Amino acid sequence: MRNTEKYWNPILETLPREKLQRLQLKKLQNIFKWAYENSPFYHSLYHNAGLEPGDIKTLDDIRKVPKTEKSMLRVAQGIKPYPYGNILSVPIEQVTEYRQTSGTTGQPVYHPETWQDWEWSAESWAYVLYAHSYRDYDRVFMPFGYSIYIAFWAGHYAAEKVGCEVVPGGVLDTEARILKMKELGATAFMATPTYILGMADVARNKLGLDPAKDLHIKKITSAGESGASIPATRKRMEEAWRAKVYDHAGATEIGHWGYECEAQCGLHVNEAFHLVEIEEIGTGASITNPGKSGSMVITTFDRLAHPCIRFDSKDIIEWSPIEKCECGRTFRLLKGGIIGRADDITKVKGVLLAPTAIEEVVRSIPELGDEYEAIVTKKGDIDDITLKVEIIPDFKRNVDAIEQKLAQQLRLKTNLRYNLEFHDYGTLPRYDVKAKRFKDLRPKE
Amino acid sequence: MVEEYKIGDMVEKIKILKQTATELKRISGGIQAVDRNVDRILASIKMLEINISDVAGIL
């Protein structure tokens, strides 16, 4: 296979590490200087820290640069010019696109894009889709709402850029989308893991279609939730659609920074577009080797209207021990994609719990449906956790054995005992985009 | 792998594209149908710079 058939950009994606780091330093210096000179927010942040553009001489100097986080962006956007605030680094007349974050963790962040930044977004997504084997012969169906959220907007334009035929399934409901995908023989689509499984469920139970046999999907790009990097969830999705499911990571404020390749052995960080650091939670110490997870701090290069420099994304990630991916890309790998969110990891009965561990257990048990709900409450001074699952009708008679298996696996993977509730299939809440399956109802201290 | 691509030639052509687009905007007389389309062309040229020109000096 020629390299141009394998990589969107064979030069950048296979750049030797030493050269990649030189490129990153140049780009870090550029974006730091740009933000310092054009964004009152960043100018003030760096001026107060005693930093000027000339102070970034090595990649390690990034550790001197103050971090940013979502709460700071929220405060800054209250300052003129409305609605982006003083982070805005271009004249507002140059802004051509508005999007906002979903607000899952609070007040949404408003995000401006110039035409160049929008082009940049599509470009970085093109790296993703090409690695996911999207090509000009693909008919890509877009089953999302084309709303005020960034979601798969840039994925749409990237698919066009790659040369695919793109079908916007925006206003159609789930059933109509599935029928249109079938009618047109769509070969690929992009959605959250929740919706990938949800669509398969609707196809089977409302339309009498088996997506694995009756549709022609060959590849699915999963984003917005960790699912495709959770082995049990990926297996369910791939079996449901008889398609390869690839993970992808991005965020409105950051851009599209990580993607799987055909080897599916972790997320490659697009290091030509981003600089990723991992910091130990609590101490902030830098984690540079595999074996320890921490919070992602990320810098985006070349995206100018709303610079993203040392942004603490609260995503929990870990470097992979795999140094050379079999795909040939030199972009560093993360083990298991996004493991969780620092916001989500919580202590229950004194034990640290990542909700993704519950998902891994539930979806590894074939007698259970895809949906579940974990609810943490407090009874007196003691934490209490209830897990609601759905049992697939054919297995209702085996509930005792399933309960035993579920309890054992949960104990093994999360070190906690749960109150287990078995519900009829189809009775737990269904979600179209991002799901909220973990509910911490304990009073806030 | 890099040797199989004419990176220097590509960098030169990207530079010419950018100069040509910028010059076109300079002489447009403010015709929006020219200026706005040039802006889009320049955004695409920037992607070529990110993909090729920015890394050329490092190879």
Which residues does chain A have within 8 Å of residue B4's beta carbon, measured at their own beta carbons?
Answer: 3
Quick check: helix, strand or coil at residue A7?
coil
CB contact under 8 A, A23 and B4: no
Rounded to an integer, the average pLDDT of A370-393 is 92
Rounded to an integer, the average pLDDT of A120-140 is 98
CA distances, A352 to each of A218, A246, A355 (Å): 38, 28, 10
Q: Which residues pair with A298 in a beta bridge?
A: A276, A311
Of A9, A10, A116, which has the smallest distance from its Cβ to B46's Cβ?
A116
Query: Does the pLDDT of residue A103 top 80, yes or no?
Result: no
Rounded to an integer, the average pLDDT of A341-361 is 85
Query: Does the pLDDT of residue B49 top 70, yes or no?
Result: yes
CB contact under 8 A, A12 and B42: no
Q: State which amino acid sits at residue A49.
A: A
Q: How high is the pLDDT of residue A134? A: 98
Query: Does the pLDDT of residue A226 top 90, yes or no?
Result: no
Contacts of A278 (CB under 8 A, 6+ apart): A286, A287, A288, A293, A294, A295, A296, A297, A317, A318, A319
Is A360 or A238 the better-scoring residue by pLDDT? A238
Q: How high is the pLDDT of residue A423? A: 94
Q: Is residue B26 part of a domain?
A: yes
CB contact under 8 A, B40 and A115: yes
**How many Cα atoms occupy the beta-carbon half-sphere of A149 within 13 Å?**
15
Q: Which residues pair with A431 in a beta bridge?
A: none
Q: How high is the pLDDT of residue B16? A: 98
Q: Would you call B18 an interface residue with chain A, using a CB distance cutoff of 8 Å?
A: no
Q: How high is the pLDDT of residue A445? A: 62
Q: How high is the pLDDT of residue A105? A: 67
Q: Is residue B59 part of a domain?
A: no
Q: Would you call B34 an interface residue with chain A, using a CB distance cutoff of 8 Å?
A: no
Question: What is the band of A433 on the pLDDT scale with cuts at 50, 70, 90?
Answer: low
CB contact under 8 A, A116 and B43: yes
Condensed to tens digits (0 to 9), the pLDDT of residues A273-288 reads 999 999 998 899 999 9
Query: Does the pLDDT of residue A33 top 90, yes or no?
Result: yes
Q: Which residues pair with A374 in a beta bridge?
A: A387, A438
Query: Does the pLDDT of residue A146 top 90, yes or no?
Result: yes
Rounded-to-integer distance, Cα A155 and Cα A311, Å: 23
Q: How high is the pLDDT of residue B5? A: 94
pTM, two decimals, is: 0.91
- Chains A and B form CB pairs within 8 A to the count of 52
Lowest mean pLDDT among A101-110, A192-201, A392-401, A420-429: A101-110
Rounded to an integer, the average pLDDT of A160-173 is 96
Q: Is residue B12 part of a domain?
A: yes
Rounded to an integer, the average pLDDT of A317-325 is 96
Question: What is the band of A436 on the pLDDT scale with cuts at 50, 70, 90?
Answer: confident
Q: Count CB-CB contacts under 10 A for residue A183.
A: 8
**Summary mean pLDDT of chain B:** 96
Question: What is the band of A19 on the pLDDT scale with cuts at 50, 70, 90?
Answer: very high
CB contact under 8 A, B50 and A10: no
Question: What is the band of A242 on the pLDDT scale with cuts at 50, 70, 90?
Answer: very high
Q: How high is the pLDDT of residue B40? A: 97
Rounded to an integer, the average pLDDT of A38-46 is 98
Rounded-to-integer distance, Cα A433 and Cα B9, Å: 46
pLDDT more than 70, % of chain A = 99
Rounded to an integer, the average pLDDT of A46-57 is 97
CB contact under 8 A, B54 and A27: yes
Q: Would you call B1 an interface residue with chain A, using a CB distance cutoff of 8 Å?
A: yes
Domain count, chain B: 1
DSSP labels for A249-282? EEETTTEEEEE--TT-SSEEE-TTTEEEEEE-TT
Query: Does the pLDDT of residue A258 top 80, yes or no?
Result: yes
Query: Does the pLDDT of residue A109 top 70, yes or no?
Result: yes
Query: Does the pLDDT of residue A199 top 90, yes or no?
Result: yes
Q: What is the ipTM of this complex?
A: 0.97
Rounded-to-integer distance, Cα A274 and Cα B34, Å: 33
pLDDT more than 90, % of chain A = 83
Which of A8, A30, A34, A123 is the best mutation test for B, with the most CBs of B within 10 A? A123
Condensed to tens digits (0 to 9), the pLDDT of residues A114-127 reads 999 999 999 999 99
Q: Would you call B52 an interface residue with chain A, using a CB distance cutoff of 8 Å?
A: yes
Which residues does chain A have within 8 Å of residue B5's beta carbon, measured at their own beta carbons?
Answer: 10-11
Q: How high is the pLDDT of residue B53? A: 98
- Smallest CA–CA distance, residue B9 to chain A, in Å, is 15
Question: What is the band of B18 on the pLDDT scale with cuts at 50, 70, 90?
Answer: very high
Q: Is residue B14 part of a domain?
A: yes
Rounded to an integer, the average pLDDT of A213-239 is 93
Rounded to an integer, the average pLDDT of A68-74 is 93
Quick check: helix, strand or coil at residue A443?
coil
Note down the domain range covering B26: 2-54
Lowest mean pLDDT among A101-115, A120-134, A145-159, A243-257: A101-115
Residue reference for tokens 């905007």: B25
> What domains sit in chain A, N to C, each tagged with a CATH number?
1-341 (3.40.50.12780), 346-440 (3.30.300.30)
**Summary mean pLDDT of chain A:** 94
- Smallest CA–CA distance, residue B59 to chain A, in Å, is 7
Q: How high is the pLDDT of residue A379? A: 86
Rounded to an integer, the average pLDDT of B5-34 is 98
